[in-house]
Amino acid sequence: MAELLQYIATGITIGSVYALVALGFTLIYNCSGIVNFAQGEFVMIGGMVTVALTAYGLPLEAAAVGAVGVSIVVGIAIYILAVAPAGRASPVTVIIITIGVSIFLRGAAQVLFGKQFHGVKPFLSEQPVMILGAAVQSQAFLVIGGTAAASLLFWILLERTLIGKALMATAANRLAAQLVGINLRRVMLIAFGGSAAIGAIAGILVTPITLTSYDVGTMLALKGFAAAMLGGMGSPLGAMAGGLLLGLAEALSAGYLSSAYKDAIAFLATFAVLLLAPNGLLGRRSVNRV
């Protein structure tokens, strides 16, 4: 029982990170139809910059704000320098561009921070909290709480603000949105900036638990991508659900089956779901119009 609880706690914690990465994917995908493979790098940047700034003696809060800021700048730069100039290139081309961006950022991180792992101390205390015999790190609560807060904020932004309405309108129909006077470029900038912020927050929160290094982004992008697919590409709720499910599946299989193959679970689960429901768990059904 304690063991199961332990796995579930781990699963929800890591699943929260996947959920945030998937949410970031969804935000950009909905507005532009682009799958941004560099999404995982935002998580790396969030963690890395926090580590670097605290090392310079900045208080954690300031370092975290700085990390989110840097990530947003990078996100916006990706749009302006790499995605926008590509114009109406084919999806494969854009995928490769974002993969190129991801390789570039990884290379930059390697130059700036080196190849070793970096960590920060847990924000609250290093003592784990005991729940029914399971030791849960205090940081895990921050990750889960932070994810909940970030997604709530995301939801409010989308549903309750004018800019959110513009984002949703663009997602529904790009041409129509432009015709009613929505500035597409601004919407894209906000999508890339917002998506970068979400990723950075995940990175800041999870680094005390998982540590970070220049190359954590690739795997996170893959998992987040899988989570977004699992939930149904384009659905924010699906992204959250997909992320949490993936995290749980991974933690449980690591615990009960094989830790070496826990990464396989993500893809096997995604395969299974895609084959049964080609649009994901919560994805929109589409009719092939001809």
The residues binding other proteins (CB under 8 A) are 35, 82, 85-86, 89-93, 95-97, 99-108, 110-111, 218, 222, 225-226, 229, 233, 260-261, 263-264, 266-268, 270-271, 274-275, 278, 287-290
Strand residue runs (E) in 42-152: 129-131, 134-136
Q: DSSP letters of 145-173?
A: HHHHHHHHHHHHHHHHSHHHHHHHHHHH-
- Residue 96 CB, shortest distance to other proteins, in Å, is 5
Q: Judged by CB, which is closer to other proteins: 162, or 260?
A: 260
Q: Judged by CB, which is closer to other proteins: 75, or 208?
A: 75
Q: Judged by CB, which is closer to other proteins: 9, or 233?
A: 233
Are 19 and 248 in contact, with CB atoms under 8 Å apart? no
Give the bridge partners for 118, in sequence order: 212
- Residue 189 CB, shortest distance to other proteins, in Å, is 18
Q: Judged by CB, which is closer to other proteins: 110, or 127?
A: 110
Q: Judged by CB, which is closer to other proteins: 133, or 278?
A: 278
Between the two ends of the chain, the Cα-to-Cα distance in Å is 54
Please provide residue 36's backbone torsions phi and psi, each rounded to the nearest 5 degrees.
-90, 100
Report how far residue 157's alpha carbon sits from residue 2's, in angstroms, rounded to the nearest whole number. Answer: 39
- Residue 109 CB, shortest distance to other proteins, in Å, is 9
- Residue 28 CB, shortest distance to other proteins, in Å, is 12
- Residue 147 CB, shortest distance to other proteins, in Å, is 22
For residue 11 the two structure tokens come to: 């699963």
Coil, strand or helix at 93:
helix
